[in-house]
Amino acid sequence: MSRFMSRFTRNPAKTGILNETNNNDEVLSPGKIIWKRFRRNKIAMIGSFILLILIILAILAPVLTPYERDAMELQNREEPPSSEHLLGTDRQGRDLLTRVLYGGRISLSVGLVASSLQMVIGVILGSLAGYYGKWLDTLIMRITDMVIAFPFLALAITAAAVLGPSIYNTMLIIGFLTWTETCRLVRGQFLSIKQMEYIEAAKATGANEFRIIWHHMLPNALAPILISSTLIMATAILVEAALSYLGLGVQAPMPSWGNILEPARSMIVLMNMWWLWLPPGFLIFISVLSINLVGDGLRDALDPRLKN
């Protein structure tokens, strides 16, 4: 038993992940342990690979397409896929492959910025509620309950209609409406962590409250925050697509996967012109699926109960 236990040591001041050794008895750092666990998850690695490909395609959009993003050929409107236009053309004669690749820039950026914004809001409010408690905790939790009480999509559509459709308003709307889950996660983690002995020791040494929260408590609450952020990024991509599809999100001529889907509201297009809606719809599906697979992989890799 002593030989078994000697392979593991807890490092609470960092991430709460157990240190372990490899076959050469070398002690692995928490980061290497997480990567080792994540790498063994084949499905998560596939999701990461697909997501990386989508990001590279979006970044290299100007290089990969011979057409300008908004260049119109009215004589070639709604043309099916051909050797000249691999994904066909839209209602204005624009090359759909070009639009889809540029649209990936917008959709993935909205997901990243919105998830980062909600994480900042959720972490700050959750930290304050969990550390200080009392009336501040009650106030923050009641505000959280109020936001959760409203149907998310209905509230997002209302906010988009009031603020006006734009890419920046879409980012703000998603970020300010999705922080509640992160806030509650961080609060719950802080309520547990602040009872730990090393927190009491930090207080006894005279460490200020900001240092205790930032250097001692937040790193130990990082795992659920990262997992929640990946899932919310997937949600942000879906919400952006929904708002843009309804004309309340990213506005033309700036492309996003959501507003490229807009012609699919016509039954004629839906049944007879698959190239106008299937490519952006598939990319929304595959990107959200990939992000969720990465989130599941992170959940398993960051689980402190796993020993290997």
pLDDT exceeds cutoff 80 at 7: no
Note the pLDDT of residue 19.
52
The CA angle 71-76-79, to the nearest 5 degrees, is 110
Task: Work out the number of other CB atoms within 10 angstroms of the CB of residue 243.
Answer: 27
Q: What is the pLDDT of residues 96-105, one digit of tens each?
A: 999 999 999 9
Task: Work out the number of other CB atoms within 10 angstroms of the CB of residue 286.
Answer: 15
Task: Work out the number of other CB atoms within 10 angstroms of the CB of residue 219.
Answer: 16
Cα(140)–Cα(233) distance, integer angstroms: 23
Q: What is the pLDDT of residues 266-294, one digit of tens each?
A: 888 888 889 889 999 999 999 999 999 99
Residue among 144, 151, 153 at smallest CA distance from 185: 144
| Cβ atoms of 255 and 99 closer than 8 Å | yes
Angle between helices 167-177 and 96-132 (to 10 degrees): 30
Q: Where are the domains of the chain?
A: 39-62+112-301
Average pLDDT taken over every residue of the chain: 83
Pick the CATH number of 39-62+112-301 from 1.10.3720.10, 1.20.1530.20, 3.30.70.260, 1.10.238.10: 1.10.3720.10
Q: Please state the pTM of the whole predicted model.
A: 0.82
Task: Work out the number of other CB atoms within 10 angstroms of the CB of residue 248.
Answer: 24
Q: What's the rounded mean pLDDT across residues 1-8?
A: 38
Burial class (CB in 10 A: 0-12, 13-18, 19+), 141: middle
Question: Picking from 113-117, 154-158, 165-169, 190-194, which range would have the lowest pLDDT averaged per residue?
Answer: 190-194
Q: What is the pLDDT of residues 31-59, one digit of tens each?
A: 777 788 888 889 989 999 999 999 999 99
CA distances from 192 to 129, 136, 189 (A): 12, 17, 5
Cα(184)–Cα(122) distance, integer angstroms: 8
- Would you place residue 213 in the very low, low, confident or very high pLDDT band (cuts 50, 70, 90)? confident
Per the listing, tokens 């490229």 go with 260
Q: What's the rounded mean pLDDT across residues 110-137?
A: 90
Q: How many helices (H) and strands (E) does the chain have?
A: 15, 3
pLDDT exceeds cutoff 80 at 190: yes
- Sequential DSSP letters for 234-283: HHHHHHHHHHHHTTSSSPTTS--HHHHTGGGGSHHHHHH-GGGTHHHHHH
Note the pLDDT of residue 22.
54
Tokens matching residue 59: 């970044």
Q: What is the pLDDT of residues 221-259, one digit of tens each?
A: 788 888 888 888 998 999 999 998 888 888 888 899 988
Q: Which residue has the higher pLDDT, 218 or 156?
A: 156
Cβ neighbors of 287 (< 8 A, separation 6 or more) are 50, 51, 54, 104, 107, 108, 234, 237
pLDDT exceeds cutoff 50 at 4: no
